[in-house]
Chain A
Amino acid sequence: MSEQAEVEPRSPTDSLRRLSAFGRRFFLAGGILPLVLVIAIVGFALAEPRFLTYGNLFNVARAASFLVIVSIGQMITLLVRGIDMSIGSTEALVSVCVALVMATVLGFDPDAPWLAIAAGIAAGLAVGAVVGAVNGIGIAVFNVNPFIMTVGMLSILSGVALTVSGGMPMYGMPKQFGEIFAYAAPLGIPAPVLFAAGVFVIMFYILNWTALGRRIYALGGNIVASRLAGISTRLHMVLAYVMCSTIVAFGGILLTARVGTGEATLASTHVLESITAVVIAGVSFFGGIGRVGNVVLGAFFVTLVTNGMNLLRVPSYQQLIVLGCLLILAVVIDQVRIRMMQQVRDE
């Protein structure tokens, strides 16, 4: 990072300064993501040649799609200056409910797998929407701090999921569920990747091209100004959490299809990983700033790191250490970025 000394425009200093100014604007707009992504890819490719094979990239893409989806959900809560610590247990509860509903419907009519699948997915999405509404109402109406609210929900939801499932994997879902939603690969593209792309397109549209999206950003940017501009801030805050949890629920449904059973301990790493992905992607903890395209890259990056460490046979305990460091580093960089933005303003 360069000092912004006021030097007379002389050509070498000048071009250097222009370069650093460009670098700074790039950093302010997108964070460090493009840089670390390249470093990670080059580093892993040098250390382990198998990393860059088509087969491995196919696997990474499929593995990344679940994290991409839940990170897009997580991003929305950060945009409104909140956070969702309960996404992992939301996925777990969704998983249990989906399995329960599908098995129940199949129990009534074993010849109706599609009805069972439709009912299960609807139930899963509904669970997500309700969880989001509870989070949102707690935060927007009862003014509970978002961290506390969603940590409370984390405990509640995983308690419910464990109670319903008895702590055991839940079987009995139609086999078509896994075939279509997890293992199908039209045109050689894994189904989860297609679903993640669909979520991305929809959220890109909503966040960038609708008034609803603008207002979600506005809420995080300045909630008082939003209210004075006539935006119903409570409604939009609740909507943001409903959107987050519904998207997360969709991720949970896909993950359930992949695992093949309802699991009350599904996706326990997603909270940490999604926050890391989102913050590395330049979504600010202070609200109002972040691009959904970068979040996709951020989730891809986190998956890439995990995959690379697996190929390099880094033990999973040590992987936890790396992921934790990554998260803290990402937050530190977010702070630096915010400070630099204020500097730009003071200039």
Chain B
Amino acid sequence: MSPVLAPSRPASTHTSLLRAAGIVKAFGGNRALNGVSIDVRENEIMALVGDNGAGKSTLVKILSGAEVPDEGTIHVSGRLAAIQNPHDAHDLGIATLHQHLGLVDCFDVPQNVFLGRELSTRLLGVLPVLRRTEMLERTKELLRELDIRLPYLDRPVSTMSGGQRQAVAISRLLLGDIKLIIMDEPMAALGVHEGQKVLDLISRLSRRGISFLIVSHNMEHVMSISNRVAVLKNGNLVGVVPTEGATRQDITSMIIHGRV
């Protein structure tokens, strides 16, 4: 797959990047997802909207390997993918920003960026040893690439502001060969300025050919950034509509009434 250089709002290629079909997930008797099918194309930004409890986060967790579906299949780039855990998803090029960020508060920036993916070398061919300097350098590189500025990298992220923590969580996403970034309410806890910065970052990355699936409650953001909008209600997919040609009222009505 070659990354496509595209104009500011990427013209998606209609090739399927990730196709989930008939996803069912129940927690006890509560069916959070009731046979949802969704198709994220190469080089597109898809928004995922719906009321509280519609099942958005559950779908995100399944696509990112944090939960395993009861039924349904997932294809990535046309190939059947068995996503059993977060590593599987990452190996397939899917990186996820979860609703609660997933940072370890008492860790510093490089430790958080490389959480679960630490770089090691073998001393004298036997003893595994962390490559701390390299992890620090690559963290700096990532932040520079994303144009993210942090006052310091060597202190616990618990001492940082909400926006800075968000930045750390986002920089984590770009580690490795990533084709799809899933974000669960990335702008929710941010001020106007910080939120705009995240939106800019998303457009910048999408111009590099990375696809996005973004959960958001903010209609303005959804309308300004996405190519298509998928609407969930009570664990069912109401429909998927192109953002151009739809109005905010159309989408709000889908969310509330569950009809196109």
Contact = CB atoms under 8 A, between A and B. Distances in A.
Interface of A: 205, 208-211, 214-215, 217-218, 221-222, 224-231, 288-289, 341-342, 344-345
Interface string B109-131: 00100011110100000011110
Given A221-B106, A227-B66, A229-B115, 13 more contacts: A205-B127, A209-B129, A210-B120, A211-B120, A211-B128, A214-B118, A218-B104, A218-B107, A225-B102, A228-B98, A230-B65, A230-B86, A344-B158
Contacts of A228: 64, 66, 86, 96, 98, 102
A238 B163 CA distance: 35
Contacts of B87: 230
A229 B117 contact: yes
B56 interface: no
Contacts of A214: 111, 115, 118, 130
Given A228-B86, A229-B117, A210 B128 contact: yes
Interface residues of B, number: 31
B106 A229 contact: no
Given A214-B118, A230-B117, A225 B130 contact: no
Nearest to A347: B159
Interface string B65-91: 110000000000000000001110010
Contacts of A231: 115-116
The A interface, classified by DSSP as helix, strand, loop or mixed, is helix
B121 to A, nearest CB: 11
A208 B64 CA distance: 29
Contacts of A341: 156, 158-159
Interface of B: 64-66, 85-87, 90, 96, 98, 100-107, 111, 115-118, 120, 127-130, 156, 158-160
8 interchain residue pairs of minimum CB distance: A229-B116, A221-B104, A230-B86, A225-B102, A211-B118, A230-B87, A288-B106, A229-B115
A168 B252 CA distance: 78
B54 to A, nearest CB: 21
B106 A217 contact: yes
A181 to B, nearest CB: 26
A67 to B, nearest CB: 26
Contact of A226 (B101, B116, B120): B116
B117 A222 contact: no
Contact of B103 (A205, A215, A225, A344): A225
B103 to A, nearest CB: 6
Nearest to B107: A221
Nearest to B88: A230
30 contacts: A205-B127, A209-B130, A210-B129, A210-B130, A211-B128, A211-B130, A214-B118, A214-B130, A215-B118, A217-B104, A217-B107, A218-B104, A221-B106, A222-B103, A224-B102, A225-B104, A226-B115, A228-B98, A229-B86, A229-B117, A230-B86, A230-B87, A231-B115, A231-B116, A288-B104, A288-B107, A341-B159, A344-B158, A344-B159, A345-B158
Contacts of A217: 104, 106-107
B246 to A, nearest CB: 33
